[in-house]
Amino acid sequence: MKIDVELLKDILYPDDLRKLQVDALPQLCQELREDIVKELSVNPGHLASSLGVTEITVALHYVYDTPYDRIVWDVGHQAYGHKILTGRKDLFCTNRKLGGIRPFPSPQESEYDTFMCGHASNSISAALGMAVAAKTEAAQTGHERHVVAVIGDGAMSGGLAYEGLNNVSSTPNDILIILNDNNMSIDRAVGGMQEYLLSLSTNETYNALRFKVSRWMHSKGLLPDDRRKGLIRLSNALKSAISHQQNVFEGMDIRYFGPFNGHDVKELVRILRQLKDMKGPKLLHLHTQKGHGYAPAEKDVTVWHAPGKFDAETGERIVSDTTNKPPKFQDVFGETLLELARQNTKIVGVTPAMPTGCSMNIMMNEMPDRTFDVGIAEGHAVTFSGGMAKEGLLPFCNIYSAFAQRAYDNIIHDVAILGLNVVLCLDRAGLVGEDGPTHHGVFDMAALRVVPNLTIASPMDECELRRLMYTAQLPDKGPFVIRYPRGSGSVVDWRCPLEEVPVGKGRKLRDGADMAVITIGPIGVEAAAAIDEIANSQKLSIAHYDLRFLKPLDEDLLHEIGQRFQKVVTIEDGVRNGGMGSAVMEWMDDHGYRPVVRRLGIPDHFVEHGTVAQLQHIVGIDKESICRAILSE
């Protein structure tokens, strides 16, 4: 795998790449792959996706005049090679670090990054908008801009992708959609589209002939738009007769080409050159292997999606010792869900493509007929759960907090209005760290607390999570939201008895006389540590209340605080505006109390990427900042 003459060292931008001969591109792909592996072994990130799309990345920047031509990536997991080739090679060692380059492509970082792509399935819609704008620009200036969307088969399970495809077929455009088909998202891809792609075949001789005929007709001016659509319909009929298979994309008047080998970079260059100036919407179907070119990643693509630190030579992952350490909240969820499902036969599990990430795979392994991975389709996950709840089942629907934003209407329209017994578990709530602003789960409390019929709770630790999950599955609890963070908690011995928590009841963790501190969720652990430190060094008596429930609020607890204290500090790991602190202030005002309330939480701007500890310090909710805020009151 060693290379005598390095090509990558001389390539800073795509203009440098285009100076190479086509025959040099396979070597460049190998070097690029090695560079990604070497860097991510010491600076963890998303590995397997970028390895799988290396040849596509090189071919696109080789054929297209980027950044003038637009490449729209769907999910930035696959864009590390793109970053390295577009002026960020020397900065790539700062990827995902505080103050370094962003974890996902962003136009705020580089003109080569055409759109935000932290969440899946938006590339076709965004690229179509750009393609329409390009047509308008071409009519005015005569300059033709090409637009390419790169979407994986996993992202094709999202409804937004189909909305985009539907509009592509009816809007004049020259977009090229590249379908990167690797049979994966993070876990194994699921759904009818995935099965369709696995079985999709075409006649290569027919494809080659059609290529030549269409190019000849285009050169002779014999292929205007109205004729092109008619010929596509005719070719669809001929292809169906030859292959005995309908093609869903061509049924939508989107010309389909493939499937081709997505790891043959020279062949990709040839195909892209032929498609580049072809009019009308086109879809190029490429078969790739996630983790391609690095044996450990090829063998276990789920683990190597984001493997953490590892030895680049041996592929041995560097895993920290978790003995006598608190577990991850997600693992407590997974173990507790299985425990509850064994007792309650009505319980089912639903996740939008995150069974391993949220640990629902624990229940899935034992009860596959009672767990459902619906693909990257958060809205569907909620409405699907609502349908099951309507007929008497009890779904635990687990969605990452930031992704649940996409299901807001479904939560209101399909669950809350009917008061259905759906337990919505929002994993990765709060600041998530290195994945940055597209993934921070900081908006859920402010967004959901205004929705009638919802119960909203956040456990301070692992035992509280277990008790809240047990409570949520008891009869007639209605829609029940439980939000909890990414990573480990604070309790090592977490297998506590499963006991009911009275809905809407908080708890007083510490009495005091001078000031009340109100927290919700795991940030209460930081607050407790700050209060302990102040109590040991200052003559200040501080009461600490764990609110537990954002909705309904514990009115007895708030009456006590309103009657006893003139100074109150609220602390939350969600947005400050409209969150728990705002709810407390509104309640105090409604009931005639006038304490001075200081709210600590996420400020009114998008928070960058960095470690959770770094970001908590920046926004002022770490122990040091909490101490300072309390003492300043």
525 and 490 in contact (C-beta within 8 Å)? yes
- Could you give the CA distance from residue 198 to residue 153 in angstroms, rounded to a whole number? 10
Per the residue annotation, which of 378, 462, 464, 526 is the catalytic one? 378
- Could you give the CA distance from residue 485 to residue 100 in angstroms, rounded to a whole number? 24
DSSP per-residue string spanning 439-473: T-B-SHHHHHTTSTT-EEE--SSHHHHHHHHHHHT
Give the HSE-up count for residue 236: Cα atoms under 13 Å, Cβ half-sphere.
17
Tokens of 285: 């179907």
Per the residue annotation, which of 290, 548, 599, 623 is the catalytic one? 290
Q: Which helix (H) or strand (E) holds 294?
A: none
- Catalytic (active site) residue 483: no
128, 379, 397, 444, 474 from 401: Cα distances, Å: 28, 13, 12, 7, 24
- Could you give the CA distance from residue 330 to residue 335 in angstroms, rounded to a whole number? 9
Tokens of 20: 């190479």
- Could you give the CA distance from residue 375 to residue 353 in angstroms, rounded to a whole number? 4
- Catalytic (active site) residue 290: yes
Count Cβ atoms below 10 Å from residue 7 Cβ, excluding itself.
Answer: 18
What is residue 250's DSSP assignment?
G
The vertex-280 CA angle with 276 and 281, nearest 5°, equals 85
Per the residue annotation, which of 33, 145, 328, 406 is the catalytic one? 406
- The 3-state DSSP composition of the chain as helix, strand, coil percent (nearest 5) reads 45, 15, 40
Question: Please, which residues have CB within 8 angstroms of residue 167's CB and are 6 or more apart in sequence?
Answer: 125, 128
- Could you give the CA distance from residue 63 to residue 80 in angstroms, rounded to a whole number? 19
- Could you give the CA distance from residue 575 to residue 572 in angstroms, rounded to a whole number? 8
- Catalytic (active site) residue 378: yes
- Could you give the CA distance from residue 317 to residue 290 in angstroms, rounded to a whole number? 18
Which of the residues are catalytic? 290, 378, 406
